[in-house]
Amino acid sequence: MNKLNIQKTSFYNKDTRPKFEGAYGNPISKESLDTLLGGIKTICISDVDGTYINTNGAVRGAQAMALAKIANTSYEEAYANLEEHGLKGAVEQYMSLNDFFTGPYKTFDPFEAVKSGQMSVFEDALRFTRSGVPTIAISNSSEQATKNKLKALGIDDEFVGIHAAFLKNEAKPNIYLAEKAIKELDDMGWYNTNQQIIHVGDQEYDLQFGHNIKQIHPNAVSVLITRPGNSYKGNTKADYVISSFDDLNTL
């Protein structure tokens, strides 16, 4: 595997960069972009839950409560099932993930989760973004729920795009979200086919999604991040395996 050639934008830090508003319909002008950036060479597409933010059991707890209802088991048994088989494996014993998220699953309140310490940002991920790598957040959740989590953590304005979908024909590993993100970048004048796209995720469908991105952008790499407590150990679709976003600087 070739060494990653991450090229960062020197102005990209929270205090001095222009406010990125592409996700909200107010893109920076092409002229300003050319002046400030000279073109973006590297883009990061990152999964959210378990990759960029640490829910410390908040998401898993909500999943276990819903799974206990549909499986008619205790919360503890449902939690153990999720830990052993992962979300997809545990839920699809009873129903599709789409039916799960549109039915019994009730998301936690992200603002309360932050207050109680059950949700936080992974500092290595935020550090990587702020070091000069424009980052797009991608999630298999509703777009509003995803934005609320990032807003509760005070990092929603760190991303050049926030895209989410839980419908079966739109959610990862379907290529829909990548196409949507790339189109938005292109509409802002931020995209070119020579850019390096780095996709980082922590689950099997993330890796398949990263692999699928290569269909529309050949200069893309799929990265598995192994966070503590992550039950997924496979890496058949991963170009690289890391334990921290900091590792991307040394690959």
Q: Which pLDDT does position 149 carry in this prediction?
A: 94
pLDDT tens per residue, range 129-170: 988 888 999 999 888 989 999 999 999 999 988 998 877 778
Contacts (Cβ under 8 Å, ≥6 apart) of 246: 124, 127, 128
Alpha-carbon separation of residue 221 from 29, 73, 236, 248 (angstroms)? 28, 40, 13, 11
Whether residue 120 is predicted with pLDDT greater than 90 in this model: the reply is: yes
Consecutive H or E run containing 241? strand 240-242
Consecutive H or E run containing 123? helix 123-130
As a whole number, mean pLDDT of residues 118-134 equals 92
Question: What is the set of domains in the chain, with CATH numbers?
Answer: 22-55+120-249 (3.40.50.1000), 58-113 (no CATH)
Other Cβ atoms within 10 Å of 236 Cβ, number: 9
Percent with pLDDT over 90 in the chain: 42
Q: Which pLDDT does position 3 carry in this prediction?
A: 59
Mean pLDDT rounded to a whole number for the chain: 83
